[in-house]
Amino acid sequence: MDLSIGEVARRSGLSVHALRFYEREGLFANPVRRLSNGRRIYHEEDLEWLAICTKLRSSGMSLAMIRQYVELARQGPGNEHERLQLLRRHENHVEAQMRELQDTLEVMRHKVRIYEDHVARGEADRLWNPSHSDPAQAGTDQECRPPEGC
């Protein structure tokens, strides 16, 4: 079934501008066909690829790396090992991002617990405030000293 650029934009969540950009940058797995009047024609396979491409982008894969993957895939059989290496490199990158985000989440959970505790005890005013004009007053709460607690 032929799809217009507007339909692909609606179904993929990408803007028409982004779709044109992806086409210019060679990021579609298959070349985008055009009618005699110049209108772009897409197919369901393009939507499937865009869903993958969007995930690759949102996980931090560069446009250059996506383009490299597309170029390898377009070459057909024989370079699967190269494609696998590229995907593994990115998988390692995503796993490192996830570890960093997990560490960040733990810090945030710790901070939330400190704030909840202070608010519940009616001692929110004792939380560290970097805007204290008197440095002697900053961070006076023993339970809340930067950087670990406040």
pLDDT digits (tens, 9 = 90+) for 73-93: 999 999 999 999 999 999 999
Could you tell me the pTM of the whole model? 0.72
**Sign of the four-CA dihedral 125, 129, 133, 138:** positive
Banded model confidence at residue 18, pLDDT cuts 50, 70, 90: very high
- Kind of pairing, strands 33-34 and 40-41? antiparallel
Q: Could you state, in order of their start, the residue ranges of all structural domains in the chain?
A: 1-76, 80-127+142-150
* Closest to 8 measured CA to CA, from 57, 48, 63: 48
* HSE toward the beta carbon, residue 46, CA cutoff 13 A: 25
pLDDT of residue 138: 47
Three-state SS for the chain is CCECHHHHHHHHCCCHHHHHHHHHCCCCCCCCEECCCCCEEECHHHHHHHHHHHHHHHCCCCHHHHHHHHHHHHHCCCCHHHHHHHHHHHHHHHHHHHHHHHHHHHHHHHHHHHHHHHHHCCCHHHCCCCCCCCCCCCCCCCCCCCCCCC
Task: Specify the CATH class of 1-76 in words.
Answer: mainly alpha
In the predicted model, what is the mean pLDDT of residues 1-13?
Answer: 96
* Average pLDDT for 117-145: 68
**Separation CA 22–CA 27 (nearest Å):** 5
Instruction: Return mean pLDDT, the chain.
Output: 89
Query: Mind listing the pLDDT tens digit for each residue in 48-66?
Result: 999 999 999 999 999 999 9
Query: In this structure, what token pair is assigned to residue 74?
Result: 């377009």
Q: Is 96's pLDDT higher than 80?
A: yes
Cα(18)–Cα(1) distance, rounded to whole angstroms? 22
